[in-house]
Structure 1
Amino acid sequence: MCGIVGYTGRRAATPILVRGLKRLEYRGYDSFGIATVGSAIEVYKKAGRIPDSGVVPVDLAGCTGIGHTRWATHGEPNEINAHPHVDCGGRIAVVHNGVIENYAELKRSLQERGHTFRSETDTEVIAHLIEERYDGDLLAAVNAVLPLLRGSYAILVIADDRQRVVAARDASPLVLGIGDDEVFAASDMTPLLEYTERVIFLEDGDVADLTPCRCTIYSGGRKVERPVELINWCLEDTRKGGFPHYMLKEIYEQPQSFYETLRAGVDERVRNLVMEADEITLVACGTSYHTALVFKYLAESLCGIPVRVEMGSEFKYFTPPLHGLVIAVSQSGETADTIAALKMAKARNCPTLAITNMQGSTVTRIADETMLMRAGPEIGVAATKSYTAQLAALMQIVNLRCEGAFDDALSHAHLAIGDVLLQDVHEAVTLCSKAKHVFFVGRGPFYAVALEGALKMKEISYVHAEGYAAGELKHGPFALLTPETPVVAICTPGPTYGVMVSNIKEMKARRAPIIAIGVAGDTELPEIVDIFIPIPDTHLLVQVLTASVVLQLLAYHTACALERDVDKPRNLAKSVTVE
């Protein structure tokens, strides 16, 4: 959930660390801090966000350092709890992403041995444990401490007498960037794009010893070689490009990201995995869960293949019987709950497939096969283009199982997405921005779209929103309908059109204002609703995409009308790497 960055090389470390943290801010923005090796360990920490300028009012000395941007798990988001954390003598500094589950036990033991703690965090125990074992060999000290830690971690450690960073990971992402006489480390690739295209993805249990001229990786005490891979993203992909927010930029990038994901196709090994499956289980969280639910409706109704969708956060504790193909869907490829579920599926000898946007991420190394989305970097915390790119991957599987029946529809889908980007939603925005509660309803795959629309509305506008299968409103939620409670209804041609119209009339009878998304040319729907938003009259698969994009625009513009911080919604982070 937090972002970490490290550097050792020939340049001043401070500006590199701060720029890197700014690019990682979507992983957490409660507080931030940096530490460098000058004549001693120098530390700067601050509650709140990194300035938009990317410049902090200090220039710590040294060409080696580490930094951290925080999403709080242990202790309030304040300056004291901000990373880096140091030992009693200020000789060791540590940044950490993850959770040390046995920190309370370790802390008590350290306090009994005379250590003084300054923060409420779990991370500080790591600095004190290393302090006890450090005799000039930082790598040996870190290696001695790691077996004592229970939980998840990506850590970077520096000492005051060495131009050296020691990095270690277990169940939390960490990637190295290889430059010319300089080495970088970060939670993901985005801070590295400015400096190098060569990266190494560390694996669980890896410990890396980084100096300006050398990057040595160990696993289980033995030196190992990890492949150097080339990043296919560019720095420009991480900039706003003239848009007021990353989220709006990424909404407008969806025609291209959908097309690129579709164009990448399906390789033969994935094709065989998909075609041989008698049943499919998908595991996902948040927005990815909603794309998986769309897939369930489409695959079962169009292909006749049984599909089960499981929440990653529930899977570990309430594991269902597993048979057939298991697909893990994760934008970052580092979602902790999804990774745990994927490992359990592997342990039960199920064939596994990962769908992710992140080359080299943990799910790609665990799963038997991978379908990489081609969405590019997504900086806005609320998923937009990664959502439609996931649908591009999943719809390809549906198309495969239906022997290419939807080739034509999918090949033109990006054009329809482009059309709805021009849709005027200002009337609906006016209605939603004045509401305290909004319901989203649909049937079949549009129920899953309604869930995603509600999620977008509440996570960036802070307007309470709930998604329902339309027929379920009368089983309780009808009690909440008032003239001040808008309902967003997705009603397109198909077997449920008539019953959806009846549901809308029932809601209108309770005086709820209705915003309806339907196809252009519908003559009945505009007559019975308050606001009608048309989408192109296309294939079902494409209507799922275009309705989703309209709901993204509705949430975005509502959040702007309410003057919310669209790209950094409160209490949220992009990549959920802790359970």
Structure 2
Amino acid sequence: MKYLDIEASQLKVVGGFDTAKEIAEQPELWIKIFEKLVRDKERIAPFLNSVLKETKKIILTGAGTSAYIGHSVEGCIQRNTGITTVSIATTHIVSHPNDYLERETPTLLISFARSGNSPESIAVVKLADTYLNHCFHLIITCSEEGDLAKYSSKNKHMVFLLPPESNDKSLAMTGSYSGMLLTILLMSNFDKLDSKKEVVKAIVKYANQLLHKKLDQIRKIAQLDFTRAVFLGSGPLYGTAMESHLKLQELTDGLVICKNDSYLGFRHGPKAVVDENTLLVYYFSNNKKVLQYEIDLVQGMGVGKRPLKQIGITTREECIPFIDDLIVLDDDESIIIDDEYLSVCYIVLGQLLGFYKSLNLNLQPDSPSTTGAISRVVKGVKIY
């Protein structure tokens, strides 16, 4: 058995079996999530319909990787529900609840967590129940044994458990991230769930191209001698850039320092980080208007220090100046995939870069932190 084109036996020797398997099995996981949502329709729909009628504000929250989910979906949820939607990390809310929790505003708190055991995860749902006069909870998590899944609120709440294989064993969140991201996207327009089957099939196809047809291309990029990496994305793909930045940085134990930004934001100072040791990664939008801004930025990279290499990912063949390596996913679908759904499959590129770079640096992807500075579940956080 091979995962990411490496024999399972070899992956176990180098300490990368779980990470490789979890990255490779994401497309299958996404299909299972869609099928589970269809099966659970009669439980989910009444809850969503009920709380959304009363809700005036939606907060998307999580810690670390789980917090980045909100940045990819907040716009989509706000459009689909007509309710003000914001993404706020639990790590912000815990220390400054008065800045984010409006006592008189009926609020739906949507919590994302792999294990549900991070101290901040449970602290925030308790704070919301304490601070808010009208509060509802939607908990999306991967572990039925986690504290968050077991939380009993005095307010109306629902827990959605992803399939067990979403609960990654490795340090880095991969299937758990993309799985929770897909779950909330499908829930955001739940009345039209059946119509999203073709969209799910399309992102599965795109991911499988990355996991099979594009592996050699990505592996060669990871072999380059870069010590910095910058990921750029617009709108929903900004969340993908954020998560990619974390994935590569944690899987390389900080030996590769990473940044993320939007295309327009990158011009306002952050561009100074680029040097001859930098890998620049562009997540290109499917929206033609947005793409114009993105291509303008790429053209602007011709001024100043040249990065070591500039790569991009797209579903269209485009003539983009200065791009050294363009990963084109075959677009033979009859539908155009919105950027929020592209964020589910595009993250596979960031995961693969992190995985292969970790191996190149003689680290163990399943547990890359040689000093124990980072761990699967954050420890040492005291809640006051």
User: Normalized against structure 2, the TM-score is what?
Assistant: 0.81
Determine which of 150, 154, 161 is the counterpart of 1:372.
161
Per-residue Cα deviation, 1:246-269 (whole angstroms, up to 9, x for no partner): 111110111121111221114434
- 2:293 aligned with 1:499: yes
Larger mean Cα displacement after TM superposition, 296-305 or 274-283: 296-305
3-state SS of the aligned residue for 1:496? helix
Structure 1 residues 412 and 471: CA distance shift in structure 2, 3 A: closer
Partner residue in 1 for 2:180: 390
Partner residue in 2 for 1:251: 23
Per-residue Cα deviation, 1:397-419 (whole angstroms, up to 9, x for no partner): 12316675534212443333222
Per-residue Cα deviation, 1:431-452 (whole angstroms, up to 9, x for no partner): 3xx1221111110011110000
Residue 394 of structure 1: CA displacement? 0.8
Mapped to 1, the partners of 2:179 and 2:271 lie a distance apart of 34
- 2:378 aligned with 1:576: yes
Per-residue Cα deviation, 1:209-263 (whole angstroms, up to 9, x for no partner): xxxxxxxxxxxxxxxxxxxxxxxxxxxxxxx954612111110111121111221
3-state SS of the aligned residue for 2:377? coil
Per-residue Cα deviation, 1:85-108 (whole angstroms, up to 9, x for no partner): xxxxxxxxxxxxxxxxxxxxxxxx
Q: Which amino acid aligns with 2:314?
A: G
Mapped to 1, the partners of 2:337 and 2:10 lie a distance apart of 31
1:149-160 correspondence to structure 2 within 5 Å = none
Structure 2, unaligned runs of 5 or more: 1-6
Residue 301 of structure 1: CA displacement? 4.3
1:438/1:485 contact within 8 Å kept = yes
- 2:270 aligned with 1:472: no
- 2:107 aligned with 1:324: yes
Mapped to 1, the partners of 2:276 and 2:377 lie a distance apart of 38
Residue 360 of structure 1: CA displacement? 3.5
Structure 1 residues 334 and 267: CA distance shift in structure 2, 3 A: farther
3-state SS of the aligned residue for 1:365? coil
Mapped to 2, the partners of 1:444 and 1:483 lie a distance apart of 28
1:388-537 correspondence to structure 2 within 5 Å = 388-400=178-190, 405-422=195-212, 423=214, 424-431=217-224, 434-461=225-252, 462=254, 463-494=256-287, 495-510=289-304, 511-512=306-307, 513-519=309-315, 521-525=316-320, 527-537=321-331
Determine which of 312, 325, 331 is the counterpart of 2:90.
312
Per-residue Cα deviation, 1:72-94 (whole angstroms, up to 9, x for no partner): xxxxxxxxxxxxxxxxxxxxxxx
Pick the structure with greater CA Rg. Answer: 1
3-state SS of the aligned residue for 2:278? coil
3-state SS of the aligned residue for 2:31? helix
- 2:125 aligned with 1:342: yes
Measured on the aligned residues, the alpha-carbon RMSD in Å equals: 2.1
Mapped to 2, the partners of 1:545 and 1:413 lie a distance apart of 7
Partner residue in 2 for 1:544: 343
Structure 1 residues 302 and 530: CA distance shift in structure 2, 3 A: farther
Mapped to 2, the partners of 1:412 and 1:450 lie a distance apart of 21
Mapped to 2, the partners of 1:343 and 1:536 lie a distance apart of 46
3-state SS of the aligned residue for 1:486? strand
2:139/2:148 contact within 8 Å kept = yes
Residue 375 of structure 1: CA displacement? 4.6
Partner residue in 1 for 2:365: 566
3-state SS of the aligned residue for 1:359? coil
Structure 1, unaligned runs of 5 or more: 1-239
Larger mean Cα displacement after TM superposition, 317-326 or 465-474: 317-326
Residue 372 of structure 1: CA displacement? 0.6
Mapped to 2, the partners of 1:548 and 1:491 lie a distance apart of 12
2:240/2:343 contact within 8 Å kept = yes
Mapped to 2, the partners of 1:542 and 1:242 lie a distance apart of 34
Aligned residues between the structures: 336
Partner residue in 2 for 1:183: none
1:273-284 correspondence to structure 2 within 5 Å = 273-275=47-49, 276-277=51-52, 278=55, 279-284=57-62
2:144/2:150 contact within 8 Å kept = no
Structure (1/2) with the larger strand percentage = 1
Mapped to 2, the partners of 1:565 and 1:484 lie a distance apart of 23
